[in-house]
Amino acid sequence: MGMDDDLITERRPVAFPQVFGYLRHVTGRLPRHAALVDCLTEYCERHELALCGVFTERDSTVIIRSPAFVGLLDALELPDAYGAVVPALSHLGPKGLGTERKRQITKAGARLIVVRHFTPTAESTSSLGASHSFWQQGDA
């Protein structure tokens, strides 16, 4: 009986803090999206976080409460939710939009976890966290 108990415990995601991913993926292709999801998955495994879902922003309209972001905020209201994880801060949106979204995430009592802490520049073309608008221009 002891072994069965262990198995049940193993399957329960509450062993690790539960996080939800957020990606801004407006212009890219599917392999790029898969690479970003992999990036979040690997980060969470390394840091013993349970990645419970990934919300993807596919629309370039600059509204704070887009469907994907509202979905993230709803998920962060769940009792076991620990925080949101993004590949880079640029994924929350450009300038003021990103700042306001960051505020709303922390206001929900959640942590915001950034996989790579850096500011994307035109030169950071090879990095996973680079802003799409920069690195995909020459990639028509």
Residue 85 has pLDDT above 80, yes or no: yes
pLDDT, averaged across the chain: 79
Residue 82 tokens read as: 């620990």
Q: What is the mean pLDDT of residues 60-86?
A: 92
The string of pLDDT tens digits covering residues 2-45 is 444 455 445 554 578 999 999 998 877 888 899 999 999 999 99
For tokens 């850096």, name the residue.
118
Least confident interval from 39-43, 98-102, 128-132, 136-140: 136-140
Alpha helices in 47-80 (DSSP H): 67-76
CATH superfamily of 16-134: Resolvase, N-terminal catalytic domain (3.40.50.1390)
Residue 94 has pLDDT above 70, yes or no: yes
Global pTM reads 0.72
Domain ranges within the chain, ordered by starting residue: 16-134
